[in-house]
């Protein structure tokens, strides 16, 4: 989940965003449980409209990973809840709970306030919500397939952010990258836990630029799965 100090400094237009998201989920809608039709994903606690969105996001994540020959080894569990709290104490839109091996996702109507104060506010709410689910599904599959779990947060976040941004519709991605003033020289990318902690948005755009640069991409993901992430700085 991309949270950091910059979260608290951004201006935003919350009302329209809240209305837009809230319209996707009427309070009285029944909750649905089920397995996604085209993805090995089991969802609980979702409204029907959310279920479709979660399954579509899961398909996006698995398609992107599948393009790198990384497939889920078992079903991925997704739980939707009114409130998802990260172990660090922040409320987040989504979070992969590695101890329970579950992707926990906030109901779409409850997600608005968590994104409004970030650069992601330039995205359509549905696009951002979906991309966050992609991010957490990537965490879940990488955890399934890792021969050795990465010891740094940046090694865990690189694939999640890179594929989250890759999953966005082209126009939305361009708008986000423009907003974030992404630089295009991926060769000088720095991936370490300090950059991640202080500017997760910068880290995300660098991860995407690095992942999509020639010679990077899938090879980097496989290096991470093998525990051989020499492109990510290990700090003392
Ligand atoms: Zn993450």
Residues with CB under 5 A from ligand 1 (ion): 157, 160
Query: Which tens digits make up the pLDDT trace of 111-165?
Result: 777 777 778 888 888 899 999 999 999 999 999 999 988 888 889 999 999 999 9
Q: Assess whether pLDDT exceeds 60 at residue 15.
A: no
Residue 216: band (very low, low, confident or very high) from pLDDT cuts 50, 70, 90:
confident
How many Å separate Cα 203 from the centre of its chain?
13
**Per-residue pLDDT, 29:** 57
What is the Å distance from ligand 1's center to 128 Cα?
A: 14
Picking from 111, 164, 168, 169, the residue whose alpha carbon sits closest to that of residue 137 is 164
Ligand 1 centre to CA of 120 (Å) is 15
**Rounded (10°) CA dihedral 117, 150, 57, 99:** -90
How far is ligand 1, taken at its centre, from the CA of residue 28, in Å?
Answer: 31
| Dist. CA 14 → ligand 1 center (Å) | 24
């Amino acid at each position: 989940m991309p949270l950091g100090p910059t979260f608290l400094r951004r201006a935003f237009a919350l009302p329209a965003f809240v209305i837009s998201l809230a319209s996707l989920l009427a309070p009285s809608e029944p909750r649905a449980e089920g397995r996604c039709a085209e993805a090995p994903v089991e969802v609980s606690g979702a409204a029907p409209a959310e279920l479709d969105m979660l399954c579509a996001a899961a398909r996006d994540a698995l398609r992107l990973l599948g393009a790198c020959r990384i497939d889920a080894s078992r079903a991925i569990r997704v739980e939707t809840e009114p409130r998802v709290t990260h172990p660090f104490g922040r409320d987040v839109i989504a979070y992969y709970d590695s101890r329970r091996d579950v992707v926990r996702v906030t109901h779409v109507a409850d997600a608005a306030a968590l994104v409004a104060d970030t650069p992601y506010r330039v995205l359509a709410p549905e696009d951002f919500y979906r991309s966050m689910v992609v991010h957490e599904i990537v965490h879940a599959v990488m955890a399934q397939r890792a021969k050795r779990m990465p010891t740094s947060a940046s090694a865990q976040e690189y694939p999640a952010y890179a594929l989250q941004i890759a999953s966005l519709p082209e126009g939305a991605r361009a708008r986000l990258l423009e907003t974030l003033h992404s630089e295009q020289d991926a060769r000088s990318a720095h991936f370490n836990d300090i950059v991640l902690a202080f500017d997760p948005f910068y880290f995300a755009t660098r991860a995407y630029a690095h992942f999509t640069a020639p010679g990077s991409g899938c090879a980097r993901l496989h290096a991470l799965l093998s525990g051989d992430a020499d492109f990510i700085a290990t700090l003392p």
